Amino acid sequence: MLYKDGKYLNVCGFKLCGIDFYGRLNQLYCESKCKQAHNNSKSSMVRKLANGSDLKIRKATRIVMDLFKPDNEGKSIIHKVELISRAFPFDLPTTKIKDDRYDGVMFCFGSFCFYQKGEYFIFYKI
């Protein structure tokens, strides 16, 4: 660690700035402007991410609620084309689970889980 005139050489933590500067040992940003900019970009990124996945889950849930017609085993088989025609967001964030009803991994979102079998998607309510 370089040390000069009672100050330490740091690198500004704001990526778009990133300059070397002398300051306190634990000083992360060259100036408060950079600290603010870094925090703003971080929170807006998190917000964007959260909103995006939230929207996809809401959309997927709406579509499946519409199409979900359970048979006597509680499963609903929906053809891929049906989902595509309703612009189902196939890239929605899901949680993988193991369930007694299917000998494999199912993908969960909201109150549904599903697995794919060829051209068909098999949905269950959780």
Interaction site with Zn ion (CB under 5 A): 12, 14, 17, 30, 34
- In the bound complex, what is the minimum distance in angstroms from residue 9's beta carbon to Zn ion? 14
- Beta strand 112-117 with 120-125 is antiparallel
Edge to edge, the sheet with strand 102-109 lists: 75-79, 120-125, 112-117, 102-109, 95-99
- In the bound complex, what is the minimum distance in angstroms from residue 70's beta carbon to Zn ion? 57
- Beta strand 3-4 with 75-79 is unpaired
Torsion, CA 77, CA 107, CA 89, CA 55, rounded to 10: 120
Q: Which is nearer to Zn ion, 30 or 60 (CB)?
A: 30
Q: Which is nearer to Zn ion, 14 or 114 (CB)?
A: 14
Q: Which is nearer to Zn ion, 34 or 113 (CB)?
A: 34
- In the bound complex, what is the minimum distance in angstroms from residue 7's beta carbon to Zn ion? 15
Phi, psi of 59 (to 5 degrees): -65, -45
Q: Which is nearer to Zn ion, 35 or 75 (CB)?
A: 35
- In the bound complex, what is the minimum distance in angstroms from residue 2's beta carbon to Zn ion? 17
